[in-house]
Structure 1
């Protein structure tokens, strides 16, 4: 995939995500692609984007229940107020690491006109930076259904995201069935507002005979300004069973 820097969204195929065949429901796959395309567009243009259209999307292989799915997107074309994003969805078997491309599509995103700067154009396409050492970075969006009565991310939702990130990191590290044994200290240091992007960076910091400690850094990012703040950090003990 050529173009700007990659944005990746990693998730797990849970029973509520599958159809009667036990594979990822096509609508959920499309939702993953559209979401990661939106995030990639927003990070590039720092504007309010909407999906204008998508080109034909072919499903080449299924993603099965219990597998990891990784949606990746890159901006490949930029106009004055619109851009195109190539997005792919790859399934990964958690125990073997076997990966297969499930689908690929092109999404065309349009920036809404800014009333304070109606003549503003999108920045040109930049060269993709070098890979950051293969570090796992998981992104998500904060929608209203994930917020509390203050309009900020509910703490339980943040813990769920961090636990999922720890599970993915531990599974990829060990290639074994893992479960969470304990949640160690978790510090919440800054709120996350509705509409923010969250980026989780899990890192295995200790391994024993059957257990691993995964530290998860939780970052919030404003889609319109790019301002980032470290909102939480925690450590989770995962055990191979």
Structure 2
């Protein structure tokens, strides 16, 4: 499988923030922003793998600035690191006041996707290589994030086993 540059997977989405997308404070629902991030990050992963993908984890979504009604939100995402069948994707959301042109980073996120075949089984993905200084920085720290992801996943699996499928009040 031929190695690909991070830039090959770049995906960008811009959308207008309208009243139905916002809360009582006139700012974009966090869950709505997370859905936009998951959507564009999945597109980046598919572009890299050239296979369907499923979301395996969201390491973090850090909300840094509110996205107000009437503003635009632009999200860019690209693959920063790969393992056998999985890909780490970095996403950055920028809000823009369309009247003044003021722009702010509103969120950043790291997500992991697994490439799958038509039967839903994981398939190998090409490795990725960074070209820019930013890509190199993200790529160099990816193994540590992957290690932390594994630890967090094991902790989540232990919680799931401990709590089981019964509701708390049963």
**Which stretches of structure 1, 4 residues or longer, exceed 4 Å deviation after superposition?**
126-129
Counterpart selection for 2:18 from 7, 10, 14: 14
For residue 120 of structure 1, report the CA deviation from its aligned partner: 5.0
Instruction: Kindly indicate whether structure 1 or structure 2 has the higher relative contact order, using CA contacts under 8 Å at least 6 residues apart.
Output: 2
Instruction: Write the distance in 1 (CA, Å) between the matches of 2:51 and 2:27.
Output: 35
Q: Match of 2:65?
A: 61
TM-score scaled by structure 2? Answer: 0.68
Matches within 5 A, 1:180-195: none
CA contact (8 A) 1:4 1:125 kept: no
Instruction: Write the distance in 1 (CA, Å) between the matches of 2:94 and 2:122.
Output: 38
For residue 88 of structure 1, report the CA deviation from its aligned partner: 1.2
Determine which structure has the larger strand proportion and give its number: 1
CA contact (8 A) 1:4 1:76 kept: no
For residue 128 of structure 1, report the CA deviation from its aligned partner: 5.7
Q: Match of 2:114?
A: 110
Instruction: Write the distance in 2 (CA, Å) between the matches of 1:97 and 1:110.
Output: 37
Determine which structure has the larger helix proportion and give its number: 2
CA contact (8 A) 2:91 2:110 kept: yes
Kindly report the root-mean-square deviation, in angstroms, between the aligned alpha carbons of the 2 structures: 2.1
For residue 119 of structure 1, report the CA deviation from its aligned partner: 8.8
Identify if the C-alpha distance between structure 1 residues 128 and 38 changes in structure 2 by more than 3 Å, giving closer, same or farther. farther
Instruction: Write the distance in 1 (CA, Å) between the matches of 2:122 and 2:115.
Output: 12
CA contact (8 A) 2:115 2:123 kept: no
Q: Structure 2: which 5+ runs fail to align? A: 133-170
For residue 37 of structure 1, report the CA deviation from its aligned partner: 0.4
SS in 2 for 1:4: helix
Q: Match of 1:50?
A: 54
Residue 40 (structure 1) aligned with residue 32 (structure 2): no
Identify if the C-alpha distance between structure 1 residues 55 and 120 changes in structure 2 by more than 3 Å, giving closer, same or farther. closer
SS in 1 for 2:7: coil
CA contact (8 A) 2:116 2:122 kept: no
